[in-house]
Amino acid sequence: MSKHIAILGSTGSIGTQTLEVVEANPEEFIVDVLTANNNVELLIKQAKKFKPDVVVIACEERYEELTEALKEEPIKVYTGIDAIAQVVQMSSIDVVVTAMVGYSGLLPTIKAIEAKKNIALANKETLVVAGEIIQKLALENGVSIYPVDSEHSAIFQCLSGEFDNSIEKIYLTASGGPFRGKDKKFLETVTSKQALKHPNWDMGAKITIDSASMMNKGFEAIEAKWLFDLKPAQVDVIVHPQSIVHSLVQFEDGSMKAQMGLPDMKLPIQFALTYPKRFKTDFPRFNFLDYPNLSFEPADYESFKNLNLAFQAMEKGGNMPCIINAANEIMVEAFLKDQVGFLQMSDIIEGCMDQLGFISKPSYEDYVITDTETRKLALSML
């Protein structure tokens, strides 16, 4: 039977690639819901092509344009973040692909889990901000969370058949981004244009800047802690410039498993949607002879301070990861507008971590307040 899916953030990098997977497997998937933040033009094209039951545009100013464009289609049109949180609860949906950017993905993910929908998780901020709440809800509602990030998908694939065996450590691989090997002096003057040139992956602006600052890898470490029930000391980061080994698991007997392949997000997306099956693809195949040398380097926690701050937040727990996420979202937006320097982003994030009140056992309401207060403080520090 075909799986009915909702794609939150269908116009972004993960969302568009998810639709490519759907298009390649028309008998396996039916798109019930598409949502976007602001890109109404692409959402209209997607809606006309995939004929979902519902589309939602978060930006209310674009609602009229979307409604007018789809008035001849048998598609319900809604607007606003609350509408997104409501449509994920539709009875027809089997899997919700959470590909929204940043904190905005938290509430819809919570509502989808409460409605007992399995999650294909591409929005790492959901677990960064509120991992404890998300995992508790998933357990209570019998919901599976399938990771879409290439690194977490790699760990998940390495653990297949190994769930009874204890993990000693996991290694998340990082390409190093566009500034691999650069020191603080170089990083003082880098621009957003430079930071947006990722060597291996084609991603959205937010995640590309996070990759350049290594915050993305720090967030992935926090996400891995929750996904795989690990202690912070069991999570490590290693730089692997070729992006062929997507991550590794080390077991208690010392043996290691790695998942390898060419960097293509459609593979982990498809695996999250088809698990436990693997569907045949025409994706390019990896050839060892094309990569005779695979190299690995230690991560630079000093030059890339964001990585260090993320590990501090993971160790501290509570609402500290929520603080670092909110401050980082403000900093990335400011950096893209040339309002803050590359290294200054880390200084302001650290300032927010130092100044805001710590809550060891936050509720959902505490996370909402923490997020709001952090954004205000971060903006005031620009």
Tell me which H or E stretch contains 145: strand 145-147
Tokens of 1: 């039977």
Average pLDDT over residues 267-275: 96
CA distance readout (Å), 353 to 203, 317, 346:
28, 12, 11
Calpha distance 152→268 (Å, rounded): 9
Cβ contact 226:132 at 8 Å: yes
What pLDDT shows up at residue 177?
87
Which tokens is 312 given? 């501090």
- The last residue of a domain, from among 102, 127, 147: 147
pLDDT of residue 224: 97
Q: In the prediction, which pLDDT does 101 show?
A: 83
Out of 316, 346, 374, a domain closes at 316
How many domains does the chain contain in total?
A: 2
Calculate what percentage of the chain has a pLDDT beyond 90: 93
Q: What DSSP state is assigned to residue 356? A: S
**Per-residue pLDDT tens for 62-108?**
999 999 999 999 999 999 999 999 999 999 999 999 999 888 899 99
Q: Is 5 helix (H, G, I), strand (E, B) or coil?
A: strand
138 in the same domain as 72? yes
Is the pLDDT confidence value at 43 over 90?
A: yes
pLDDT band at 201 (very low <50, low <70, confident <90, very high): low
Q: Which domain holds residue 228?
A: 152-316
Q: How far apart are CA 45 and CA 115, in angstroms?
A: 29
The CATH number linked to 21 is 3.40.50.720
Same domain, 163 and 176: yes
Task: Please check whether residue 196 is in contact with residue 208, taking contact to mean a CB–CB distance below 8 angstroms.
Answer: yes
Query: What pLDDT is attached to residue 200?
Result: 67
- Environment class of 366 (CB within 10 Å of its CB; exposed 0-12, middle 13-18, buried 19+): middle
pLDDT in tens, 226-236: 999 999 999 99
DSSP states of 197-258: --SS----HHHHHHHHHTHHHHHHHHHHHHHTT--GGGEEEEE-TT--EEEEEEETTS-EEE
| Whether residue 159 is found in the same domain as residue 262 | yes
Average pLDDT, the chain: 95
Q: Is the separation of the CB atoms in 180 and 241 below 8 Å?
A: yes
H-assigned helices in 81-187: 81-87, 106-114, 125-141, 150-159, 184-187
Kindly report which listed range (34-38, 204-208, 358-362, 371-375) carries the lowest average pLDDT score: 204-208
In a domain? residue 357: no
Lowest mean pLDDT among 32-36, 64-68, 208-212, 319-323: 208-212
pLDDT value at position 207?
86
